[in-house]
Amino acid sequence: MSAGEILALSAARALSAIEAGELAGGEVFNAYRERAEADREAGAAGLNCFTWVAREPAADGSAPRGASQPLGGLPLAVKDLFCTEGVPSQSGSRILQGYLPPYTATAVSRLTGAGAALLAKTNQDEFAMGSSNENSAFGAVLNPWDRERVPGGSSGGSAAAVAAGLALWALGTDTGGSIRQPAALCGIVGMKPTYGLVSRYGMIAFASSLDQAGPLTRDVTDAALLLSHMVAQDPCDATSLASPEPIRMPSAGSLAGVRLGVPDELTGEGIEAGVMEAFTGALDHAQQLGAEIERVKLPHAPHALSAYYVLAPAECSSNLARYDGVRYGLRADAQEDLLQMYTRTRHDGFGAEVKRRIMLGTYALSSGYYDAYYGRAQRVRTKIAEDFRRVFETVDFVVTPTSPTVAFKLGERTGDPLSMYYSDYCTVPMSLAGIPALSMPCGLSEGLPVGFQITGPAFSENRLLDAAHALERVLAFDGGGARV
């Protein structure tokens, strides 16, 4: 197979070719390694998707053809914040520059254990805090559809790399939309599983009650394939859960009898006209496939962003207390006394957005403010989860646009934190409720991809993937505009 033919394959198709003895996983690895390395070497002239790329090509000449392991040696790109033993894991932060973890995150070791090969670590917003990938200590990632625009964030490097064909597929994490929003802005599939389905062990923590790992892929089948090898209860993560059933490969071609709820609160004011047009176009397709469309109410969804920007910074301020210049990472030169070493190290090591969230969270948890902010936000979280539970008594899934806008210009929102936070308006409610949600491309607006979000009850991954698979076939989105 030529490199061009290899790069045209989805992971599932590459795996079929490997199983048929027509291709070796090492050949796929090497085809992508060259492209990823070229992007890394190009620096600012490339997309800046990667913070590390594997140095050694796979020995494809000697590797046996045919899969001895389920993932057959296929290359995997991994968001920087997953710990990978002996490989830099810096979470996009100066405070962790050069950090080499002594162990590997469970989500990654399960995939490499199933035969995936670590291709690269991907650029991200610092500690996963951001919606544009402009908050990285390693520079912004560019959107492959338009290099003057952001790829979304925080898993921006993973999304841009998959969209541009610099990676076959990638791991990301989603706290308030950090898989789904960049997937939408780059025109690929991204899925946040039910909270607890994938172990968080070895993921550099942002907000522990929300963080969840998931796949960023070219299509729905690849998302199911990657996720199927990630799920497992892990003794190293007490909040991980056993999946009630294995993740299956989706096969549905119809939506007959499937009830889709369209919430008024997430499809009205504030959603760009071109985004709504592509979204309603996708609803028409769903209807033609047999789906029933209903309007539903999520009365507390408009308060989700407010609750999220109390809860996530509160958890962040606690989690990021560990960066003190003692055990790993950066230590500032100022060393007159211990306290000054801590405060200077954190001043020098953290970027502006991370400092803002640490301050916000510390304030919300401080004496006299706890009940007004954190306590109330936790109660709003209860109401949001109740809203979804009630809606899922009458519909199978709730569907919304993934992002209120298409990819915005670099620098457009960096001066206004609230306008940046608003990017997560449609994705945060599902994060607070801990339910699975998938974004898939449903068309273009002004030449830029629009994401269609489908969310279902906890542990509905298989049904959700089936519905997305059926819809994907009729939407027939062409991602060719992003290939480099």
Partner 1 sequence: MIDRDEVLHVARLARLALSEDEIETMARELSAVLDHVARIGELELSDVPPTSHVVELTGALRPDVPRASLPRDLALSQAPSVGDGGFLVPSPQA
Of the two residues 237 and 396, which places its CB atom closer to partner 1 in the complex?
Answer: 237
> 6-25: buried (b, 16+ CB within 10 Å) or exposed (e) per residue?
bbebbbbebbebbeeeebbb
Of 468, 435, 434, residue with least CA distance to 454: 468
Strand partners, 143: 146
Of the two residues 11 and 96, which places its CB atom closer to partner 1 in the complex?
Answer: 96
Of the two residues 96 and 223, which places its CB atom closer to partner 1 in the complex?
Answer: 96
Of the two residues 295 and 379, which places its CB atom closer to partner 1 in the complex?
Answer: 379
Report, in Å, the least distance between residue 346 CB and partner 1: 5
Query: Which one is catalytic: 79, 93, 121, 431?
Result: 79
Strand partners, 446: none
Q: Is 409 a catalytic residue?
A: no
How far, in Å, CA of 39 to CA of 395, rounded? 44
Q: Backbone phi, then psi, for 61, in 5-degree steps?
A: -65, -40
Report, in Å, the least distance between residue 333 CB and partner 1: 11
Q: Is 79 a catalytic residue?
A: yes
Of 59, 14, 65, residue with least CA distance to 33: 59
What's the Rg (C-alpha) of the chain? 21
Report, in Å, the least distance between residue 300 CB and partner 1: 8
Report, in Å, the least distance between residue 390 CB and partner 1: 14
Tokens, residue 324: 């003190």
C-alpha dihedral, 102 to 106 to 109 to 113, nearest 10°: 140
Query: Which one is catalytic: 131, 136, 178, 199?
Result: 178
Per DSSP bridges, beta strands 259-263 and 397-401 are parallel
Instruction: Put residue 69 in one of left, alpha, beta given phi > 0 → left and psi -120 to 50 → alpha.
Output: beta
How far, in Å, CA of 93 to CA of 83, rounded? 14
Report, in Å, the least distance between residue 237 CB and partner 1: 9
How far, in Å, CA of 434 to CA of 190, rounded? 16
C-alpha dihedral, 348 to 349 to 351 to 353, nearest 10°: -110
Beta-carbon-side half-sphere exposure of residue 174 (alpha carbons within 13 Å): 34
Report, in Å, the least distance between residue 420 CB and partner 1: 11
Of the two residues 383 and 473, which places its CB atom closer to partner 1 in the complex?
Answer: 383
Q: Is 208 a catalytic residue?
A: no
Of 197, 205, 209, residue with least CA distance to 240: 197
How far, in Å, CA of 216 to CA of 180, rounded? 8
Q: In what order do the strands lie in the sheet with 75-79?
A: 50-53, 117-122, 75-79, 170-174, 212-217, 189-192, 437-445, 448-455, 397-401, 259-263, 292-296
Report, in Å, the least distance between residue 417 CB and partner 1: 6
Q: Backbone phi, then psi, for 306, in 5-degree steps?
A: -65, -45
Tokens, residue 34: 């060259």
Of the two residues 256 and 338, which places its CB atom closer to partner 1 in the complex?
Answer: 338
Of the two residues 239 and 254, which places its CB atom closer to partner 1 in the complex?
Answer: 239
Report, in Å, the least distance between residue 193 CB and partner 1: 12
Report, in Å, the least distance between residue 314 CB and partner 1: 11
How far, in Å, CA of 40 to CA of 36, rounded? 6
Query: Which one is catalytic: 89, 91, 136, 154?
Result: 154
C-alpha dihedral, 381 to 453 to 74 to 138, nearest 10°: -70
Tokens, residue 110: 């399960």
Of the two residues 35 and 303, which places its CB atom closer to partner 1 in the complex?
Answer: 303
Of the two residues 8 and 100, which places its CB atom closer to partner 1 in the complex?
Answer: 100
Q: Give the residue numbers annotated as catalytic, written as ranges.
A: 79, 154, 178
